[in-house]
A = this chain, B = another copy of it.
Amino acid sequence: MTQADTVTRILDSAEQLFAEKGFAETSLRMITTRAKVNLAAVNYHFGSKKDLIQAVFARFLTPFTQKLDKELDAMVATNREPTFQDVLGVLARTMLTGVETHQRYNKLSVFMRLLGLAYTQAQGHLRRFLNENYAKTYGRFIGYLKAAHPTLSSDEIFWRIHFAIGSAVFTMSSLEVLRSMAQADTGHDASVERVMQMLIPFLSAALEQES
């Protein structure tokens, strides 16, 4: 039986529990119990709970950002004037590549949920960490969007992007609640796939409108 090592098991448990409950509501004892490691292992391998939080974000954001950077390179290499759709397509492809189809939406849920926590529960240390490590690629992405839509002001682009991120993050963050509400409301069960299929045209219409 090949057992993942202690560091990986801690990261897996922490990621799952953070996405499920948030940072403050998740204790190190919950994490180490689920990971079946000793309590002190967190402080030994990561230093502190704050460092563990940063490590959880780094594990999925660093490869994601690297992939996004390469995809953006490839985009501008073959396309001198990428459209709004082109740039958004690069983002969508980057989020989905490398993840097996059958667990694609679970991974995406965790991704979105953690992203939401970064916005709404971030203390200073996490915000600073994310800004130092990933702001550059993020700014590059926003820059291409602005270039693709010269009739809109920089402000408009920025805020529309974050309105859209808000929809996605909020929806995935409270998917369980919303699903039970939808079940009681319409009587229909909603799969993640179906919700995504409604969300994408919803956001497309909003992002690209002329004002």
Contact = CB atoms under 8 A, between A and B. Distances in A.
A88 B111 CA distance: 32
Contact of A139 (B119, B160, B185): B185
B162 A116 contact: no
Secondary structure dominating the interface of A: helix
Interface of A: 22, 24-25, 116, 119-122, 127, 139, 142, 154-156, 158-160, 162-171, 173-174, 177-178, 181-182, 185-186, 188, 190, 194-195, 198-199, 201-203, 205-206, 209, 211
A203 to B, nearest CB: 7
Contacts of A168: 166
B186 A154 contact: yes
B171 A163 contact: yes
